[in-house]
Amino acid sequence: MEVTPTNLAERALNVGVLLFALVTFSSFISSITEAMTRLRKQNSVRNAQDSALRQYFGENHVPMQLVARIRQYLRQSLRARQSRKMWRDVELLWNLPGVLQMELHHVVYSRPIMRHPFFRNYGDVAPAAMRACCHKAVGELSVIPGQAVFNSGQAADRMYFLVDGMQQYIPIENMEEHDRGLQSTNSGLFGDPTATVLTEGEWITEAVLWVHWFHVGTMSSKTVSMLITLDVQELHKIMQQYMDTLAHGHKYACLFAQQVLGSGFPPSDLCIDLDLSRLIATQAFTEEESSDEEESEESQAPEAEIPQGRPRRHSLTSFTSLISGIGRP
């Protein structure tokens, strides 16, 4: 039986339904077309990059084993970047004025950095300097499982703060034992007795801030991780500009060298005991009257005794000599 409108109201309803269906269907088709176009564009860019990568490997005769490792890293790195956004992934933030960028960097980066007793006190004494450090000296590093952050013997140039994930640190004296363990058994996440597992909130390689330092171990990622890096040269440039707080940094560096590196224990990239770090920071930021003789003695940090057979690579140069041209006020 055919159903047709019989009056003006039914005809108006019929026309309205047809127009609504036409607009809705057109919008649906348009969204599908736009999504397909975007996907096709992304695939074309990815295919072009993959073609360029294959061409580079072929022209330079890169071994297939290394090619496989690089491709595996690129795939895992892409998944890691999709799991947590970093500064470089948000292009809209690049166009912010410098003042807003500095404020945003301070909010995001100061929390993990100021867990360290020195920077917590430094931020309280010189908040402007702390904002400058977060803006200019701090960077982000995303690593995937198995990726090495640094290797033993490598010259250190930054300090690391673990924001998310797990890292594994193996000192150089345990490397042979660790390699033998990998060949004999498959260690679990916490089953390797030669390794120290670092978790969220910990930091490593603090010594590079105060002395000339070479890594004495290897750190690699156990899980997808995000680290905050603190560049030593940029930090020292900023501390030069705030002369009223430079004495605190000098005092902390001397105490660090005397109580930690001069203790006679083998050097390590791992962070020192938290209570000891708090004690040193408290002493460094406590105003005390001292004579000129005490100041001259404090500015010369003693060299740690390095065991026989270990190359003498760690120069216990005080903080003020690391920042060339700036003496203690």
**Percent of the chain surpassing pLDDT 90:** 32
What is d(CA 173, CA 171) in angstroms, rounded to the nearest whole number?
6
Residue 81, pLDDT score: 63
pLDDT digits (tens, 9 = 90+) for 249-259: 899 998 888 87
Torsion angle defined by CA atoms of residues 15, 19, 22 and 27, in that order, rounded to the nearest 10 degrees: -160
Please report the pLDDT score of residue 223 as a whole number: 87
User: Which domains are seen in the chain, by residue range?
Assistant: 140-329 (2.60.120.10)
Mean pLDDT of the chain: 80
CB 253 within 8 A of CB 210: yes
Instruction: Reply yes or no on whether the pLDDT at 89 is more than 90.
Output: no
Instruction: Report the distance separating Cα 308 and Cα 160, nearest Å.
Output: 29
Q: What is the predicted pLDDT for the residue at 293?
A: 45
Model confidence over 208-227: pLDDT tens digits?
999 889 999 999 999 888 99
Beta-bridged to residue 159, according to DSSP, are: 230
Average pLDDT (127-146) is 91
Instruction: Give the tens place of pLDDT for each residue, 1-43.
Output: 667 777 888 888 888 988 999 889 888 888 898 888 888 887 8
Q: So what's the pLDDT on residue 262?
A: 66
Q: Is the pTM of this model over 0.75?
A: no
pLDDT band at 272 (very low <50, low <70, confident <90, very high): confident
pLDDT average, residue stretch 180-193: 51
The residue written with tokens 């940029």 in the block is 234
